[in-house]
Structure 1
Amino acid sequence: MNREERSVAVSESITSAGGWGLRYPGLVMGKGSKNEVKEFTGMWGLKSGADLVAFTDTLSREVPVWGGPGKTFSEATTMLGLIRTARWFVARTQDFDGYALFFISQFDGSLDKYFDDFVLNGKENLTKIWGQCVGCPSGPDATASDIVEYIARGQIKTLACYDVFPSLSLGQIYKAADWYEKTQKFQRAVAKGEGKLEDMVTAFFGELAESYKQVPSDAMIDTEVGHQWQYEDVAEHIGK
């Protein structure tokens, strides 16, 4: 079995905890409820010549990610209906004798399944982000699975995190907000007493049956990151 076949086999067979070499299950919020929220935090040393402008461009322009060709990062991520929050940032750390890329995410579903889905980004898109980091697999023989394994190995422990609705999935939150808005609209129409009640009820149930129209996150990508300060002066600001 060559490297490509091995990587494909690994990706297809990941069903148990630690399948991606994860050392820590991450914090779990909403334990014992119908829904649980997981988190992942990781860091990787940045290459000395890391192109942060290209990094942010990857997340802001149209790229063929899991949402399909023509979808932006934020649109495709919204379509997944799993990721509650995700952020990347750069900070100086002695672990890598320079700067490191940090990634923090909270999501519905298991941590291992989350990394299974990372493969769907494809090698090219993963490389545009983590390829800026030291040790990321590269070259023609590297696969998306190899890069995801590298990402998983960068895991660090989170001391504490918080989610306001751990017992509710994103789908449930969307539906509750959607039904509340439509019910409020129906109540106001009934209060006005305009039109037949039977017609208003029929229209109301018809609207409830329609799917919630998701609004993609703006992702708040800092496209000026390459032209701004990069955290060199934090120590003096906190009085060190």
Structure 2
Amino acid sequence: MRILLLGGTTEASGLVRRLAGRPSFSPVLSLAGRTAAPVAAPFETRIGGFGGADGLADWLRRERAEAVIDATHPFANRISHNAAAACAAAGVPLLALRRPAWACAPGDCWHEVETVAGAVPALGDDPRRVFLTVGRLELAAFAAAPQHAYLVRTIEPVGDALPVPDLTTLTARGPFDAEAEAALMRRHRVEVVVTKNSGGAATYGKILAARALGLPVVIVRQPLPPAVATVAGPDAALDWLEAHRAASTLRGV
């Protein structure tokens, strides 16, 4: 069974491990190419886009794909909508593997915003020490508020993405536990955390740490995803694939 797995997340890696060594599946892992050294997969991997929804639909037809799993990041919304449109056009079943968003819990002090750009004015005019974890590609918005001292953590080096006078950068890949996150925030005297509501366990430690330290969190809501069949974990995604493979076998496909 030919499968396209749109990956780049912890959940995608979990499904990769479950598909490895299963001769009944022929998966292709697709990565956007935003990370210089992605975790290697034990099967065919392609890097880069398809050329929008039309290009993806053409690829699905050409490769005779029988299923697509969208396990991209919750904020990779354009990819998810392109996948939904392409699968509808090519007649290929689509499943979204989506982690649930974090929910505000007792003790949290959240200021929710719709976009990363909307997080900038939420910091206020007075200088603050900001722990910023929104990804390298969206850092430029905070150049409009150079009065703050920024501690920025990204997977890839920041480079010149955020030209402000007071900038400290960390390059690291999760998971991050709550105790280490709290120690980091105390060491850098963080006053406010800015992040996306990415969901999942790998980066939830910063939310727990902010709660324990009584720090406010400016958090960007997840964008509205396309309305497609959805599961929350790799095991459920594998069950869905097995069911589709069995149905295809019965039909003689």
TM-score category (smaller protein): under 0.3
Report the TM-score, using the length of structure 2 for normalisation.
Answer: 0.25
Higher relative helix content: 1
TM-score by length of 1: 0.26
Higher strand share: 2
The structure whose Rg is larger is 1
